[in-house]
Chain A
Amino acid sequence: MSNSAHNTPAAARAASTIPDLVNEKGGMDDFLKGLWKENPVFVQVLGMCPVLAVTNTVTNSFVMGVATTFVLVMSAIMVSATRSFIPKQVRIATYILIIATFVTVADYAIKAVSLSAHRSLGAFISLIVVNCIILGRAEAFSSRNGIKDSVMDALGMGIGFTFAILMLGVIRESLGSGSLAGIPIFGSNYEPWVIMVLPGGAFFVLGFLLLGINAMNTRRSGVKN
């Protein structure tokens, strides 16, 4: 394709505001940055819907994290492998097609493995399609890097995302139901904070986690300066 002027679509525009940290060391750094420094949830604040919606139990969080990582990695491979054939004008449409395909695959796979996991996540598996993290990585990274780097990047982002929602899941389930992955941990005398597993609790926990991270960063930069 020629370098004709093209439109940056809205979704890509959201993605392009992410600092485009492509580095020369490749591989390992692409992987590691997603875990903390550019954590999709805590730092980039992307993909908030599943983060809030499915973190009421650890099991739900884990399934959602694995499914999202799967879609991230598979679409990174596809986008990266086809990046030189796809005309600029239709690339977002192509990415969405690719992502939607793998989300449907993940949806059926979860249904085949465990119906109860599928029932408790409901439509949120399908909604991985519109998780901005995935389209964001496809546009900002996979579309301009080789397969190996893209996979490392996607894995890092996926594991960073899984880590973040597991953290929320552990806090919400342990306080809200007194259990972890369905196994009671606080004994029968524990009176659960029901609010934690209700929608309000999701907002509170994430709000306070972000507050904590802000406080930590402020303190750290205060020490440095």
Chain B
Amino acid sequence: MHTETLGSIFLNSLLINNFVLSAFLGICPFLGVSNKLDTASRMGMAVTFVMFVSSMCAYGVNVLLLWIEAPYLQLISYIVIIASAVQLVEMFIKKFSPALFRALGIFLPLITTNCAILGLALFQTAKGYNFVESLVYAIGAGAGFTLAIVLMAGIREELELTSVPGIIKGTAIVLIIAGILSMTFMGFAGLA
């Protein structure tokens, strides 16, 4: 019996429990690829896309694992299926949409080791979402990741134009900005 509606699942994963700013998933790309607005938004799109695909795969794998009663294979299967899915998606895009491949291409292999993707697969299983709920959750989480990384990139582009003291440059200031963003996002709690 789920009391969550699709809308509240979406809002939850997009804003209230934002993957980056509240659940701390996908911090590496958030710190690493957020210095340019353009790359950040493409990274966000790539992550959303991969999340959508691996959410579907993870749902299927979980059904299979429950059927053969092998819950201990969950983690291994998820990580293998995500890595394979990323490879297939990459080959597929390369063949059918070179333009999209040029936009997302170099990010795809990086995403395999992004903990947001594995986290999504694990959370949707832990929360017991059905197929449609899982997909909505994946889209919300992807959009939430994109939102966070684009916001951060916007701030960092502005930061380029100001004089920042030497000792706080680099990761330190990004983390402190992320803290402020995270506090801002707390204001969304209670929305769903």
Chain A: residues with CB nearer than 8 A to chain B?
Answer: 9-11, 14, 45, 48-50, 52-53, 93, 96-97, 100-101, 103-104, 107-108, 122-123, 126-127, 129-132, 135, 195, 198-204, 206-208, 210-211, 214-215, 218
Q: How far is the CB of A222 from chain B (nearest CB, A)?
A: 11
Q: How far is it, in angstroms, between the C-alpha of A210 and the C-alpha of B172 when the chains are bound?
A: 6
On whether the beta carbons of A202 and B24 are closer than 8 Å, the reply is yes
Main secondary structure of the interface of A (DSSP, over half): helix
On whether the beta carbons of B118 and A127 are closer than 8 Å, the reply is yes
Set of chain B residues within 8 Å of A45, measured between Cβ atoms: 31, 171
Q: Check B119 for interface membership: any CB of A closer than 8 A.
A: yes
On whether the beta carbons of A104 and B24 are closer than 8 Å, the reply is no
Main secondary structure of the interface of B (DSSP, over half): helix
On whether the beta carbons of B179 and A100 are closer than 8 Å, the reply is no
Q: Check B166 for interface membership: any CB of A closer than 8 A.
A: yes
Q: Return the 10 tightest CB-CB contacts between A and B, nearest first.
A: A203-B179, A207-B175, A53-B24, A207-B176, A48-B27, A10-B109, A200-B182, A200-B183, A204-B179, A210-B172
Set of chain B residues within 8 Å of A126, measured between Cβ atoms: 75, 118, 122
Q: How far is it, in angstroms, between the C-alpha of A10 and the C-alpha of B122 when the chains are bound?
A: 23
Q: B151-190: which have CB < 8 Å to A?
A: 166-176, 178-180, 182-183, 186
Q: How far is it, in angstroms, between the C-alpha of A199 and the C-alpha of B27 when the chains are bound?
A: 13
Q: How far is it, in angstroms, between the C-alpha of A129 and the C-alpha of B122 when the chains are bound?
A: 12
The answer to whether residues A123 and B179 also contact, given A52-B24, A53-B24, A96-B83 and a CB cut-off of 8 A, is no
Report the interface size class on chain B.
35 or more
On whether the beta carbons of B79 and A203 are closer than 8 Å, the reply is no
Q: How far is the CB of B184 from chain A (nearest CB, A)?
A: 9
The answer to whether residues A210 and B75 also contact, given A48-B31, A127-B115 and a CB cut-off of 8 A, is no
Set of chain B residues within 8 Å of A198, measured between Cβ atoms: 182-183, 186
Set of chain B residues within 8 Å of A97, measured between Cβ atoms: 76, 80
The answer to whether residues A129 and B186 also contact, given A45-B171, A48-B31, A49-B25 and a CB cut-off of 8 A, is no
On whether the beta carbons of A207 and B173 are closer than 8 Å, the reply is yes
From A50, A204, A215, give the contact of B167 (CB < 8 A). A215
Q: Check B8 for interface membership: any CB of A closer than 8 A.
A: no
Chain B: residues with CB nearer than 8 A to chain A?
Answer: 21-28, 31, 72, 74-76, 79-80, 83, 109-110, 112-115, 118-119, 122-123, 126, 166-176, 178-180, 182-183, 186
Q: How far is it, in angstroms, between the C-alpha of A215 and the C-alpha of B173 when the chains are bound?
A: 13
Chain B residue nearest to A218 (CB atoms) is B167
Set of chain A residues within 8 Å of B76, measured between Cβ atoms: 97, 100-101, 104
Q: How far is it, in angstroms, between the C-alpha of A190 and the C-alpha of B109 when the chains are bound?
A: 49
The answer to whether residues A103 and B109 also contact, given A123-B119, A204-B176 and a CB cut-off of 8 A, is no
From A96, A107, A195, A218, give the contact of B166 (CB < 8 A). A218
Q: How far is it, in angstroms, between the C-alpha of A56 and the C-alpha of B86 when the chains are bound?
A: 33
Set of chain A residues within 8 Å of B175, measured between Cβ atoms: 203-204, 206-207, 210
On whether the beta carbons of A214 and B113 are closer than 8 Å, the reply is no
